[in-house]
Amino acid sequence: MKSASFADLLQTTDDNGQWFIVNKKQKTLVNRKITGKGVSDTSIKVVERNKQNAWHIFVGHLDPATTADDLSKYLKDAGISVFDCKLLQKREKWQEKFSAFRVVVDIQYKDRIFDEGLWPLGCDVRDWVFTGQKRNDE
């Protein structure tokens, strides 16, 4: 069944005053995609995924004792493939109260990584911002 917008639901009722969905003619394109899970010993080979198929995020406001290994294991245990996890340098005095990381995950998890329920209360997670300046910690 096709879902309707909230506005569509409020515009029309049936004879008994019950709301019903207005069917509008819309062309919907369906893009289909799968990831093969068959045997790997075939005449065709797959190029191994690398950081070009990756999503970069910032994770911060964690306890200062948190390590990159702790965070990587946490995400792997949650079923998220982690390519890289680096503790960011603490350049300011106030940053010593927290740990912050640059995390690189498989691009297929780019939406799941932003599930609020995945993260501890108060943890900051956002897209990594590339500035064009290369630093030692990047």
Amino acid at position 4, single letter:
A
Stretches where the chain sits below pLDDT 50 are: 137-138
| CA 87 to chain centroid | 19
Task: Give the per-residue pLDDT at 138.
Answer: 45
Task: Give the per-residue pLDDT at 45.
Answer: 74
Angle at 72 between CA 120 and CA 77, to 5 degrees: 70
Beta strands in 1-138 (DSSP E): 54-62, 82-87, 99-106, 124-127
Domain 51-127 fold is: Alpha-Beta Plaits (3.30.70)
> pTM higher than 0.75 for the full model?
no
Query: 63-92 pLDDT, tens per residue?
Result: 999 999 999 999 999 999 999 999 999 888
Question: 96: closest CA among 88, 105, 104?
Answer: 88
Task: Give the per-residue pLDDT at 12.
Answer: 57
Task: Give the per-residue pLDDT at 132.
Answer: 72
